[in-house]
A and B are shown apart, each in its own frame.
Chain A
Amino acid sequence: EDQVTQSPEALRLQEGESSSLNCSYTVSGLRGLFWYRQDPGKGPEFLFTLYSAGEEKEKERLKATLTKKESFLHITAPKPEDSATYLCAAETGNNRLAFGKGNQVVVIP
């Protein structure tokens, strides 16, 4: 069975304190690894897609990396507006996304 596990479940950061979120996956035939951001009461907002080990993508203070078994979302010098739940999803067959439970990040001013 396809599994996506995210850690830590919750993280409190001081503003400016960089950190990394982990997403480990066990899927047969990974087609892509997705990161989304979800704010309370809203739908997931697309951030990145990674397709092959070694690939990296960046957007503002966020950087996503991919290995054969896990992905990391690095948050550099976070600001309070980076507070959100970050979701990792592995695309398996037939465009299905298998999601982890998320990393809930709170950035304290």
Chain B
Amino acid sequence: NAGVMQNPRHLVRRRGQEARLRCSPMKGHSHVYWYRQLPEEGLKFMVYLQKENIIDESGMPKERFSAEFPKEGPSILRIQQVVRGDSAAYFCASSPPPEGNIQYFGAGTRLSVL
């Protein structure tokens, strides 16, 4: 059973470009979470999604960031018009239903903005 798959592992963008980060949850998991880890900081919750629904986006910046988890395919975290401050490691986690289960993490995508 493959774990949570994230790609790409490393992503370099210039200021103003768009970044798309993908996450395929573990088989049988229908809940997906995105977290951001800034240098010298702990992981910060961004958004919690179930298939075709955003359950909690209270940690998501109000502008430029969006997330989706379509009926088919991976979850996508999209950052428009990236700025240097967006440079971080972005981790995806998944858990099986019902709520309250263990979240299993992917290896992360390291975004560098030049």
A interface, CB within 8 angstroms of B: 4, 31-32, 34, 36, 41-46, 49, 87, 89, 91, 94-102
5 closest residue pairs by CB, A with B = A43-B105, A94-B56, A99-B42, A99-B43, A101-B42
Q: A43-B106, A95-B55 are in contact. List 9 more A-B contacts (CB 8 A).
A: A4-B42, A31-B100, A34-B102, A42-B108, A43-B108, A44-B105, A96-B59, A99-B44, A101-B42
Distance in angstroms from B45 CB to nearest chain A CB is: 5
Interface residues of B in 1-56 (CB under 8 A from A): 4, 6, 31, 33, 35, 40-45, 48, 55-56
How many whole Å from B30's CB to the nearest CB in chain A?
A: 12
Q: How far is the CA of A87 from the CA of B43 in the complex (A)?
A: 9
Docked pose: A65 CA to B29 CA in angstroms = 28
Contact (Cβ within 8 A) A32 B100: yes
Whether B102 contacts A101 by the Cβ 8 Å rule is no
Instruction: For B6, list chain A residues within 8 Å (CB).
Output: 43
